[in-house]
Structure 1
Amino acid sequence: MKHQKQILNIALPAMGENLLQMLMGLVDNYLVAQLGLSAVSGVAVANNIITIYQALFIAIGSAITSIVAKSLAQKDQSAYQGYQNDALSLTIILSLILGVISVVWGTTLLKLLGTQNSVSEIGGRYLALVGGGVLFLGLMTSLGSLLRARGRVRLPMYVSLVSNLLNALLSTLAIFLFNWGVEGVAAATVLSRAIGTLILAKQLKLKVWDWQFHLAIDRDLLRLALPASLERLMMRAGDLVIVALIVTFGTKVVAGNAIGETLTQFNYMPGLGLSTAAVVLTAHYLGQAKIDQIRQVEREIYLIAVLSMGVLAGFILLLGPVLGRLFTDNTSALQASQTVLLFSFLGTPVTAGTLVYTAIWQGLGNAKLPFYTTSIGMWLIRVLIGYLLGISLQLGLSGVWMATVLDNLFRHFFLYKRYRRYIG
């Protein structure tokens, strides 16, 4: 494959960075577990909200990567500088909004999710600190996107590694040496991200006095960033409804589904990394008007995504009974987790297609089409058909996951057909 090395040079560091960001939350949960069930429950629920924030920043990061890579390919330095300023301004604006929500309404948000008062109070304090300092999560994501667009694809991963190691060290000291509890863990997370932000900013040679914050964000950047962010929000909102459907099947099924999703999240790592490569390379070759190269990159990325995700999903499916027992010995829960692993494996080709072609459309400068497609697929297929199959036809968890595969099937082929028509 002609572009294999180029693709993997971008995708592998992106996979590593995504994995490291996910591990930061897991480290916090593990260390907080030493403080009791209320603490670990509160931090876990708060981290679910932080994950939504992170999804928004990742969506904005994809838009930044696309538009900056295109401007660099066109050798338009003035446009690049403008997009860089606008990207950082947009990140700061969103961070301030999310920060205020976390500080003022953090505890209320947790209570709305049905947590007990003791859990809400602890989780609210953690969310107020980590969410209040979400600016550094946002800036790390955006600065990393700017570096990837400039070809420095490994540096964001190395900085994430440093940030994670620092977080683990500071969190451990906060709990076992200083007895600062949940607040200490939260402060360690924010501080480690702040240091990561400073390292990335220095590598980009950003100087505060050379940068001007402004509310008037470039229209092209907004045209990509807003639909991409809404697409992520639509996915999260739909996931909440799906969880509500699964709750009707009983606590054991809910637990099994949670275990299965915990294991299958690793299946998506190759696809997410390859999606980053798809955005960068598609935008790069679009800027150079090399349509044939876009066609070749698209085919190669999809093939690599299917193979890598398929092998990983198959491996986890085979080891499912063993891995599941790390979480529970309940037979019903283990059976439910195997159902999730099975459908995740069977749906690999269309899941890979959904990830790759969403990224390619973002690289082409059209984030609205994936947003519309996700909205239709999530609510008319995944939720509606999931309800009909899972509850009305009493297929249970299998019915819900059948609808999930159908949703990805629809989105994959719709985005692919439109892409073929657009690219010629």
Structure 2
Amino acid sequence: MGNAFTLLILVSIVFTVLCLIFLDSVLTAFGANREILDPAADYTRIILFASIFMIIGSGMNNFIRAEGNPKKSMFTLLIGSILNVILAPVFIFGFDWGMEGAALATAISQLISALWVMSHFFTEKSVLKIRIKNMQLSGVLVRRILALGVGSFITQMATSVLMIAMNNVLLSHGGSTAIAGMNVVNAVQTFIMLPIWGISLGIQPIIGYNFGAKNYERVKSILVSAMVFSTVIATVASLFIYFVPEGLVAVFNQSEELVRFGSHAMVIFLLFTPLIGFQIIGAGFFQATPGEHHAMFQ
């Protein structure tokens, strides 16, 4: 945990510095045109300065869950979300701070979440403690951490590359309306994926423990149950999207052009949503069980 904590700090610093240096290029690559580049830069600049809180908070929250405190881990996520929902309208409309207000609300929410997470490791309830002696990087530990995390990194990086390519195509053929419509589609997809991600993260410590104890029957039972439950969630969500796409888009924006484009794009883009559960749970399973799997499936 000490090595992971150090890596989180280093990654957040490198990420922030590089993005600030190449901010306009990064935003342009993601599809920002002249119309939205300045407000996007105002928002992103504040978010980047607060990214260290987001990275440390979300990263260390995994250790809270792994040591047997899933409820506290869930509460950590709720703190940031609820604070953001409360502060955003106050800063945007009450103080008339616009995009900067939205970013500041997110930054403060991430800061509070990070402080809440870190405070856990200095209480008696925590099994794991943060010790400076454990924060000195070890080559062996760093390699093992990176080996386990590279799968998630590649997945997230692939998603970012997809967004860059898609936004540039949308900007060329549909303009700002098309980009706004796909942002709505991505938001809806995120709502669907959140509970499935929660299931995947929740089963990983249990699967890892039982896999290590060679209790393969319980591992298979948990894996199958999680896949079935996640697939049911994704399938029900897909049916809902298929029948009322216009209503979902209208929640975000009342523009007729945006509703027309967004609802059509949503049905096509989320056509294979029922497969998401299988994919996310499967990826979580392999992260939780590093090593040989042939004995388990004999």
Say which SS state the counterpart of residue 265 (structure 1) adopts.
Answer: helix
> Quick one: structure 1 residues 163 and 260, their matched pair in 2 at CA, closer, same or farther if it must change by over 3 Å?
closer
Q: Distance in 1 between matches of 2:35 and 2:257?
A: 31
Match of 1:226 among 109, 134, 150: 150
Larger relative contact order, structure 1 or 2 (CA cutoff 8 Å, min sep 6) = 1
- The two structures, once aligned, show a CA RMSD in angstroms of 3.3
Contact 2:61 2:76 in 1 (8 A): no
Aligned to 2:135: 213
Identity over the aligned pairs, expressed in percent? 18
Aligned to 2:27: 110
Moved more, 162-171 or 190-199: 162-171
Q: Distance in 1 between matches of 2:12 and 2:4?
A: 12
Cα deviation code 1:368-394 (max 9, x no counterpart)? xxxxxxxxxxxxxxxxxxxxxxxxxxx
Moved more, 280-289 or 239-248: 239-248
Aligned to 2:71: 154
1:124 equivalent to 2:48? Answer no
> Quick one: structure 1 residues 144 and 275, their matched pair in 2 at CA, closer, same or farther if it must change by over 3 Å?
same
Cα deviation code 1:124-161 (max 9, x no counterpart)? 23322221221110111112100111121121222332
Contact 1:103 1:129 in 2 (8 A): no
Aligned to 2:112: 195
Alignment: residue pair count:
289
Q: Residues 336-415 of structure 1: matches in 2 within 5 Å?
A: 337-338=263-264, 340-341=266-267, 344=270, 347-365=272-290
Moved more, 94-103 or 124-133: 124-133
Match of 1:305 among 230, 234, 256: 230
Q: Distance in 2 between matches of 1:127 and 1:256?
A: 20
> Quick one: structure 1 residues 282 and 258, their matched pair in 2 at CA, closer, same or farther if it must change by over 3 Å?
same
By how many angstroms is 1:362 displaced? Answer: 0.8
Letter in 1 for 2:135: F
Letter in 2 for 1:122: P
1:285 equivalent to 2:159? Answer no
Match of 2:240 among 308, 315, 322: 315
Aligned to 2:297: 423
Cα deviation code 1:187-224 (max 9, x no counterpart)? 34323322221221122227776465334351221211
Letter in 2 for 1:199: W
Aligned to 1:145: 62
> Quick one: structure 1 residues 87 and 241, their matched pair in 2 at CA, closer, same or farther if it must change by over 3 Å?
same
By how many angstroms is 1:244 displaced? Answer: 4.6
> Quick one: structure 1 residues 137 and 259, their matched pair in 2 at CA, closer, same or farther if it must change by over 3 Å?
closer
Contact 2:242 2:267 in 1 (8 A): yes
Q: Distance in 2 between matches of 1:176 and 1:265?
A: 26
Q: Distance in 2 between matches of 1:175 and 1:258?
A: 20
Flag structure 2 segments of 5+ consecutive residues without an equivalent: 124-128
By how many angstroms is 1:309 displaced? Answer: 1.8
Cα deviation code 1:312-345 (max 9, x no counterpart)? 2212322223333443564796376246336635
By how many angstroms is 1:269 displaced? Answer: 2.6
Q: Distance in 2 between matches of 1:89 and 1:220?
A: 15
Q: Residues 178-193 of structure 1: matches in 2 within 5 Å?
A: 178-193=95-110
The two structures have a TM-score, normalised by structure 2, of 0.80
Q: Residues 56-95 of structure 1: matches in 2 within 5 Å?
A: 84-95=1-12
> Quick one: structure 1 residues 176 and 162, their matched pair in 2 at CA, closer, same or farther if it must change by over 3 Å?
same
By how many angstroms is 1:272 displaced? Answer: 1.5
Contact 2:6 2:137 in 1 (8 A): yes
By how many angstroms is 1:248 displaced? Answer: 6.6
> Quick one: structure 1 residues 201 and 114, their matched pair in 2 at CA, closer, same or farther if it must change by over 3 Å?
closer
Letter in 2 for 1:141: S
Contact 2:31 2:164 in 1 (8 A): no
Q: Distance in 2 between matches of 1:148 and 1:290?
A: 21
Q: Distance in 1 between matches of 2:89 and 2:247?
A: 30
Say which SS state the counterpart of residue 423 (structure 1) adopts.
Answer: coil
Aligned to 1:165: 82
Say which SS state the counterpart of residue 3 (structure 2) adopts.
Answer: helix
Contact 1:317 1:338 in 2 (8 A): no
Letter in 1 for 2:245: G
Q: Distance in 2 between matches of 1:208 and 1:295?
A: 34
Q: Distance in 1 between matches of 2:30 and 2:201?
A: 32
Match of 2:196 among 246, 271, 279: 271
By how many angstroms is 1:106 displaced? Answer: 2.1
Contact 2:29 2:168 in 1 (8 A): no
Match of 1:334 among 260, 264, 267: 260
Q: Distance in 2 between matches of 1:161 and 1:120?
A: 31
Flag structure 1 segments of 5+ consecutive residues without an equivalent: 1-83, 367-417
Contact 2:208 2:289 in 1 (8 A): yes
Contact 1:325 1:334 in 2 (8 A): no
